[in-house]
Amino acid sequence: MTLDQFTPTNYPRMSAWHEGWTDVTYPIFENMTGWPGQPNTHLETLSCIHCGDTAKVSVLHMSVHSGSHMDAPNHFMAEGIDISRSPFEVGLGPVRIARIDCAAEVTPQDLEDYEARTRPLEAGERLILRTPNSDKGLWLQHPFDKDYHGIGPAAAAVIAKRKLALIGVDYLSVGPFYEGNPQTHRTLLGGDVWIIEGVDLRRVTEGDYEMICLPLKIVGSDASPIRILIRPAAAQ
């Protein structure tokens, strides 16, 4: 096709590239649910048009582990790289979303049950778990729930052994609150599995999707907010 022949109507993929995407990013707002002991999210106004200033300018105060975010290896590994060095391709491409109806933490059996009804997990794949966390509504408006469903260390070891590229969860931490949180993080990050947390899967069903997920390039940071979009994968 020459440049003269190109029009949006005869090149449908270009004209419809934005269609079908669902935003599964949680919003950032004042006093949103955060990890216990971390500062509340606060949006400060430096200047205001209605107050007579030329422009509105704001400053956002928040933990980088608030809302939808990606962890960097240096979050739990002293020699790990920071979020500014994360490979952008890790968040771009096919992703599997698995419904995990776990009673407590995610176990190896939960992963085996998922594989049995779908297909085995393969090296390099991306996987996001939809647990009972997603059925609790907009949890960012609620007090922090220490009984959320995280990935237990044993299940993390399975994920690392499968050599997945990325694992995602639908609450603020990939590991359980009471026991095994550091072990889960270190097992995954040490196995070169990138972690995204706080994905909004309330209206998402199990299946195969495409994903766009990019962190901010914050030098030295151990995490970053993300904007994450998914759409159903094209039928093969």
* CATH number for position 48: 3.50.30.50
Q: For position 2, what pLDDT does the model report?
A: 43
Question: Which residues have a Cβ under 8 Å from the Cβ of 194 and sit 6 or more positions away?
Answer: 70, 71, 86, 90, 91, 165, 166, 167
Q: What span, in angstroms and rounded, lies between the C-alpha atoms of 21 and 210?
A: 9
Per-residue model confidence as pLDDT tens digits over 129-155: 999 999 988 788 899 999 999 999 999
Contacts with 117 (C-beta within 8 Å, 6 or more apart), sequence order: none
83 within some domain = yes
pLDDT band at 235 (very low <50, low <70, confident <90, very high): low
The neighbour count for residue 96, using CB atoms within 10 Å, is 21
Whole-number percent of the chain with pLDDT over 90: 88
Burial environment of residue 221 by CB neighbours within 10 A (0 to 12, 13 to 18, 19 or more):
middle
Entry pTM: 0.91
Q: How far apart are CA 140 and CA 33, in angstroms?
A: 5
Q: How many domains does the chain have?
A: 1
Q: Per the domain annotation, does 115 fall within a domain?
A: yes
CB–CB of 30/67 below 8 Å? Answer: no
The residue among 193, 192, 189, 190 whose CA lies nearest residue 166 is 193
CA distance 113 to 131: 14
- Does any domain span residue 2? no
| 162 part of a folded domain | yes
**Structural domain contains residue 22:** no
Confidence band for 7, pLDDT divided at 50, 70 and 90: very low
Residue 27 domain-assigned (yes or no):
no
Statement: residue 208 has pLDDT above 60: yes
Residue type, 49: I
Give a yes or no: residue 37 inside a domain. Answer: no
| Under 8 Å between Cβ of 70 and 223 | yes
pLDDT digits (tens, 9 = 90+) for 153-199: 999 999 999 999 999 999 999 999 999 999 999 999 999 999 999 99
Nearest by Cα to 100 from 112, 88, 86, 110: 110
Rounded Cα–Cα distance for residues 62 and 65 (Å)? 8
Q: Which of 15-24, 46-55, 85-94 is the least confident region?
A: 15-24
Q: Which domain holds residue 213?
A: 42-232
**What pLDDT score does 20 carry?**
92
Q: In the chain, what is the greatest distance between 2 CA atoms, to the nearest angstrom?
A: 63
User: Considering only 10-24, 36-50, 102-116, which range has the smallest mean pLDDT?
Assistant: 10-24
Matching residue, tokens 């299946």:
207
Position 48, amino acid? C
Q: Rounded CA gap, 95 and 128, in Å?
A: 7
Name residue 214's beta-bridge partners: 227
| Nearest-angstrom CA–CA distance, 172 and 32 | 12
14 in any annotated domain: no
